């Protein structure tokens, strides 16, 4: 970072995660035996339930072919692979775009699914005939996959899906002081590493903080200002012609965060465990912030907001687990590999539904008819 003066927190996060040598830019991220575990990385059950959800959302918009699914923050492509492996009914209509801003992670998509050029996947596709526009969609060609660094510049009729994307978007940080709101920035120290520096918040940030939590909040309370997440939601809504945006993440209202110390909700991860303070070892650890649904609601109120456990149950996780239990019992009798797989599925369900863990995440949905 070559800037003089204390640096806003969002610039630090942006550089530490996505700049040259940044955490995601250098290919780090989610996975067993990697830096942290997300629901898709727990095992294939999450993708199997998402496959069922896609079928119900496909039905709701009249089973279009092509059916476009845009997964943003796709990491290495695990969720996409597992959704398709579960063979949802929409498979033959499915055009799946994996959107991932890290080049290093995007490079791994082709190892998970057969990636085609985006123009071919987005169509209209070139087939055995033409319609009045000179082009024709070829139905029943799915699943087709493409990999992109950003949302495509096309109208999307289908689903925009984001698992643990918004918590990784850069955010500003403000703190209440006896004199009013201060902004938490990062400044260089004499011996090298960055340290927090409080500067008076500019009036726009102070007004925003007052609107979010009121002026009577305790001195030393902190809150994040999640502008990048809101901007992303705005872009996604403008791109969506019909269907829904589904964002899954750890989420807490801003006023609740104000009552908790910031080290609880600005967290760092590396090597399968928690990392150090956010300004330490920039680039070698993930920096993440609990998502504030009330801040997203300033762009648009979600049509639905429920826990991951409720969402997975609504889309049939229990039927998949019951099936696994039956297979496990049968497999235990014969010692088959299927029995072991079934046993692991039961363990995955426990992790995905745990109300104190992944099951307590929020699933926010914005519908557009
Ligand atoms: C916590 S990881 C989640 C990965 C995967 N969805 C999962 O659940 O395992 C967040 C991912 O979002 C990516 N990302 C962040 N901002 C993005 C953006 N604006 N567009 C696309 N990808 C983004 C990061 O590079 C990272 O791979």
- For residue range 174-227, list pLDDT tens digits in order: 999 999 999 999 998 777 789 999 999 999 999 999 999 998 899 999 999 999
Note the pLDDT of residue 133. Answer: 53
Note the pLDDT of residue 96. Answer: 98
| 361, 251 contact by CB (below 8 A) | yes
Q: What confidence tier does 4 reach under pLDDT thresholds 50, 70, 90?
A: low
Ligand 1 atom at minimal distance to the Cα of residue 232 = 19
Ligand 1 atom at minimal distance to the Cα of residue 17 = 25
Q: Give the residue, out of 15, 72, 73, with the most ligand 1 atoms within 8 A of its beta carbon, to mutate for a pocket test.
A: 73
pLDDT higher for 353 or 335? Answer: 353
pLDDT > 50? residue 99: yes
Give the mean pLDDT of 114-132: 72
Pairing of strands 240-249, 362-368: antiparallel
Q: Give the residue, out of 18, 42, 75, 108, with the most ligand 1 atoms within 8 A of its beta carbon, to mutate for a pocket test.
A: 75
Note the pLDDT of residue 328. Answer: 80
| 19, 280 contact by CB (below 8 A) | no
pLDDT > 70? residue 69: yes
- Mean pLDDT, the chain, whole residue set: 93
pTM: 0.95
Note the pLDDT of residue 1. Answer: 43
Note the pLDDT of residue 2. Answer: 45
How far lies 146's CA from each of 17, 100, 297, in Å?
24, 11, 31
Among residues 119, 155, 150, 148, the alpha carbon closest in space to that of 239 is found at 155
Q: What confidence tier does 327 reach under pLDDT thresholds 50, 70, 90?
A: confident
pLDDT > 70? residue 32: yes
- Looking at the DSSP bridge assignments, the partners of residue 249 are 362
Distance 75 CA to ligand 1 centre (A): 5
């Amino acid at each position: 970072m070559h800037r003089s003066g204390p640096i806003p927190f969002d610039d630090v996060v942006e550089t530490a995660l996505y700049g040259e040598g940044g955490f995601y830019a250098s290919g780090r991220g989610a996975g067993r035996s990697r830096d942290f575990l997300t629901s898709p990385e727990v095992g294939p059950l999450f993708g199997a339930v998402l496959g069922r959800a896609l079928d119900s959302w496909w039905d709701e918009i009249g089973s279009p072919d092509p059916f476009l699914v845009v997964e943003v923050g796709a990491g290495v492509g695990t969720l996409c692979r597992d959704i398709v492996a579960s063979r949802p009914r929409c498979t033959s209509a499915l055009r799946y775009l994996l959107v991932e801003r890290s080049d290093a992670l995007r490079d791994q998509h082709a190892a998970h699914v057969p990636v085609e050029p985006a123009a071919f996947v987005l169509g209209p596709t070139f087939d055995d005939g033409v319609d009045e526009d000179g082009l024709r969609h070829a139905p029943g060609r799915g699943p087709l996959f493409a990999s992109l660094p950003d949302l495509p510049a096309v109208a999307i009729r289908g689903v925009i899906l984001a698992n643990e994307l918004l918590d990784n978007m850069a955010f500003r940080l403000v703190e209440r002081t006896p004199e009013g709101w201060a902004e938490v920035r990062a400044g260089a120290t004499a011996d090298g590493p960055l340290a927090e520096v409080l500067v008076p918040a500019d009036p726009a940030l102070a007004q925003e903080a007052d609107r979010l939590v009121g002026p009577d909040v305790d001195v030393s309370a902190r809150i994040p200002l999640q502008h990048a997440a809101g901007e992303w939601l705005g872009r996604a809504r403008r791109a969506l012609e019909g269907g829904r945006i589904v964002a899954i993440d750890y989420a807490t209202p801003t006023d609740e965060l104000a009552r908790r110390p910031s080290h609880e909700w600005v967290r760092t991860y590396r090597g399968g465990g928690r990392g150090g303070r956010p300004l330490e070892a920039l680039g070698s650890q993930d920096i993440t912030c609990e998502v504030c649904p009330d801040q997203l609601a300033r762009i648009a109120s979600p049509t639905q907001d429920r826990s991951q456990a409720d969402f997975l149950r609504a889309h049939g996780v229990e039927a998949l687990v019951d099936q696994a239990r039956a297979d496990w019992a049968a497999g235990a009798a014969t010692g088959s590999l299927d029995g072991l797989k079934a046993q692991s599925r039961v363990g995955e369900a426990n992790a995905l539904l745990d109300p104190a863990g992944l099951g307590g995440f929020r699933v926010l949905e914005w519908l557009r008819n």
